[in-house]
Amino acid sequence: MKIKYELLKSEKHTKARHGILHTNHGSFETPMFMPVGTQATVKTLSPEELKEMGSGVILSNTYHLWLRPGEDVVDHAGGLHTFMNYDGPILTDSGGFQVFSLAEKKNITEEGVLFKSHINGEKLLLTPEKSIEIQNKLDSDIAMSFDECIPYPASYEYAKASTERTLRWARRGKEAHKNEHQSLFGIVQGGEYSDLRAISAKETVKIGFDGYSIGGTSVGEDKPTMYQMIEDGICYLPEDKPRYLMGVGDPIDILEGVERGVDMFDCVLPTRIARHGNAFTHRGKINLKNAKFKEDFTPLEETCTCYACRHYTKAYIRHLIIAGETFGARLLSIHNLQFLIHLTEDIRSSIDTDTFLTFKEKFLKDYTKE
Amino acid sequence: MKIKYELLKSEKHTKARHGILHTNHGSFETPMFMPVGTQATVKTLSPEELKEMGSGVILSNTYHLWLRPGEDVVDHAGGLHTFMNYDGPILTDSGGFQVFSLAEKKNITEEGVLFKSHINGEKLLLTPEKSIEIQNKLDSDIAMSFDECIPYPASYEYAKASTERTLRWARRGKEAHKNEHQSLFGIVQGGEYSDLRAISAKETVKIGFDGYSIGGTSVGEDKPTMYQMIEDGICYLPEDKPRYLMGVGDPIDILEGVERGVDMFDCVLPTRIARHGNAFTHRGKINLKNAKFKEDFTPLEETCTCYACRHYTKAYIRHLIIAGETFGARLLSIHNLQFLIHLTEDIRSSIDTDTFLTFKEKFLKDYTKE
């Protein structure tokens, strides 16, 4: 069965929408933040911990799993859900972004991308067909088309040629897609150019996918440009399909994305900053390494219901982070992921009552206060 | 309240004994293996995970907590139990072993040990009084006397002088001990010399402690020497107090220790080897990095009931270890600790039925088969 998106409520004053996405591994409401499990594990966490924090869907990375342990191992295990013991919905990316950001000495041709593995330097070729074949074997609920993530800034000529090639790759990927239990998303590119974003969105929709991603943001552009990139493409996407803004997980950007009609978000930010001792709070990010927390025997946030806040103090988590103990990263990862997941939950409530803008204003006022 | 040891059953054919130790934070049966939480956390694990695997008591390190976060922070938090959210029994060591194994440029005098911190090179002095003062503030259930861990080999003269000094330190520590909720153990030293072990045991018992530790083993000596060191001192220890063999956690050594009358064991081995990809099994240790486990979709042990074995395969754990994901170390830590804790559980059953030697023989036959 393919996924099915159900629109529950459109907010009156914005493009924000509350929906529900049905998959073969359960349903989740949108807008939703998706924790990232790059290597078939959300760093430091168990599947039970992800469920407890209300995680509806997770993302895993095709590029990493292709290199290690290899898609055949995952296939022989019975697919990614069985391999990693996660029975909820899983989305896989196409590997495109990782090839562009991690791989060495890449060479982009019409066929695909020739590059060297960031692990062992091995020469590898990733094509639209190969990306889909790997994802078919991983057997995620939602797969992504193979695309080029255009750098920022990029010349108009480069962006145009790349966007057109990504469209050809999208057609090839759809053609190659053979897993009937798996849904496939197209990706809107176009760099920083409004007309290219429009062309990319319209043509990708013409090919026809189960959902649409907005790619190529969060690559160095300023915030207004990023929000413009979203707007330039999203207006051409169909109402009855989910929209996913790739690689975005800053609380402010989630709010800006939702306001423009985005349903799904993912980012390594909450777990990455956790490993460096940072915690999201409603009054902005705090860094536990700060000396002022040395004898702070209160939780990260008094009002938070996460496992970390129910049982541990800032002073203890600070000690763990400074001592290099991974249990500290685990506690902060739980807190940060739950923070974003609960943020999307609060956003959904505000959409239901047509008070999204009031909610957003209140959140931003507190979050940016200090 | 001080701890209270209750002898439940002496095994008919050996010195093995099944007992129960009552503390202010609950009771646990002995023989028992104690997971090590060096820096107020058993690496990668939560207190809930420790409870689920049947952990009766954990150990934490005075030296590490003195340096980071400092005993005053733990004291102000309300003691170690509150600080780390662990409401079961906690034992702290004296810092002696760490000063001798970790610290740089140490200088031993009658007063104590002058050394440089392994973290920042700061000059520090650890004395018997200071060690007890720190442990009083940590507020563990069981504290240890400050001792010198004699290197192996050592000359008779050095061992004799050191053993006598450790006895003087034991008297000073007992004198300095002010926490009436905390019990205090004396430590038998004496190096590799039978007569010094006997003197150390008899004199330490004369001082009078709530329990007795056997120190200075597992420092490079061969196994027969280690077992002899245990025998040379343990025969002088009172029946009505618990005996703790410090720093020993190899399954074979646990069996040999129990046979000689030891009640408590601790070691970083199960969690340390976990981080390097090793798992205990009843057929010996296995290393998950081995290529033969690449597509092994069975648990670490079919008969094991631990969280890792209930939900994950060797192939998945292998992938996590090779990819450097801490969830792999977490799963193997859970398995290895439960393995040793369940081993002591099985040992207790065999003591109850006077079949310890049969149990030991069967275990060793399987464990050393491959």
B295 contact residues in A (CB cutoff 8 A): 73, 76-77
What is the separation, in whole angstroms, between the first and last Cα of chain B? 48
Q: Which of B83, B313, B322 sits opposite A316 (nearest CB)?
A: B83
Question: Is there a contact between B229 and B197 (Cβ–Cβ < 8 Å)?
Answer: yes
- Give the span between the Cα atoms of B92 and B81, in whole angstroms: 12
- Give the span between the Cα atoms of B222 and B211, in whole angstroms: 26
Of B332, B284, B285, residue with least CA distance to B307 = B332
- Alpha carbon of B97: minimum distance to chain A alpha carbons (Å): 19
Q: Residue A131 to residues A95, A123, A203, B368: CA-CA distances in angstroms? A: 7, 16, 21, 46
- Give the span between the Cα atoms of A263 and A241, in whole angstroms: 10
Instruction: Look up the ipTM and state it.
Output: 0.98
- Alpha carbon of B124: minimum distance to chain A alpha carbons (Å): 19
Residue B104 makes CB contacts below 8 A (sequence gap 6+) with B115, B116, B118, B121
A44 contact residues in B (CB cutoff 8 A): 44, 326-327, 330
What is the chain A residue with the closest CA to B309? A85
**Strand B264-266 with B243-245, pairing:** parallel
- Give the span between the Cα atoms of A189 and A197, in whole angstroms: 6
B118 contact residues in A (CB cutoff 8 A): none
Q: Give every residue of chain A whose pLDDT is below 50, as ranges.
A: none
The verdict on pTM exceeding 0.80 is yes
Q: Residue B51 to residues A315, A349, B58, B307, B343: CA-CA distances in angstroms? A: 23, 38, 10, 12, 16
- Give the span between the Cα atoms of B230 and B349, in whole angstroms: 23
- Alpha carbon of B341: minimum distance to chain A alpha carbons (Å): 21
- CB-CB under 8 Å, A85 with B330: no
Element (H, E) at B10: strand B4-10
- Give the span between the Cα atoms of A245 and A266, in whole angstroms: 7
Q: Is the peptide bond before B69 cis (omega within 30 degrees of 0)?
A: yes
Chain A positions with Cβ closer than 8 Å to B:
39-41, 43-46, 64, 68-69, 73, 76-78, 83-85, 294-295, 297, 311-313, 315-316, 318-320, 322-323, 325-330
B45 contact residues in A (CB cutoff 8 A): 327
Of A318, A336, A334, A327, residue with least CA distance to A254 = A336
What is the separation, in whole angstroms, between the first and last Cα of chain A? 48
Residue B183 makes CB contacts below 8 A (sequence gap 6+) with B2, B3, B23, B141, B142, B143, B210, B211
Tokens of residue B301, six digits: 């042990």
Mark whether B93 is an active-site residue.
Answer: yes
| Phi, psi angle pair for B87, to nearest 5° | -100, 10
Of B168, B48, B188, residue with least CA distance to B108 = B168
Q: Residue B367 to residues B338, B360, B362, B370: CA-CA distances in angstroms? A: 16, 10, 9, 8
SS (H, E, C) B210-237: CEEEECCCCCCCCHHHHHHHHHHHHCCC
Tokens of residue B234, six digits: 């343990």
Q: Which of B210, B266, B296, B366 is catalytic?
A: B266
Q: Give every residue of chain B whose pLDDT is below 70, as ranges.
A: 370
Measured from the Cβ of residue B75, the count of other Cβ atoms closer than 10 Å reads: 16
Which ranges in chain A belong to alpha helices (H)?
47-52, 62-67, 71-77, 80-84, 96-101, 128-138, 156-176, 194-207, 223-234, 251-259, 269-275, 307-311, 314-322, 326-352, 356-367
Q: What pLDDT is recorded for position B317?
A: 98
Q: Which of A44, A315, A320 sits opposite B41 (nearest CB)?
A: A320
What is the chain A residue with the closest CA to B78? A297
Tokens of residue B363, six digits: 């275990």
Residue A339 makes CB contacts below 8 A (sequence gap 6+) with A251, A270, A279, A280, A281, A304, A306
- CB-CB under 8 Å, B327 with A44: yes
Q: What pLDDT is recorded for position B370?
A: 62
Question: Is there a contact between A94 and A69 (Cβ–Cβ < 8 Å)?
Answer: no
- CB-CB under 8 Å, B318 with A40: no
Amino acid identity at B78: G
Amino acid identity at A75: D
Q: Identify the three-state secondary structure at position A208.
A: coil
**Bridge partner list, B33:** B265
Which ranges in chain B belong to alpha helices (H)?
47-52, 62-67, 71-77, 80-84, 96-101, 128-138, 156-176, 194-207, 223-234, 251-259, 269-275, 307-311, 314-322, 326-352, 356-367
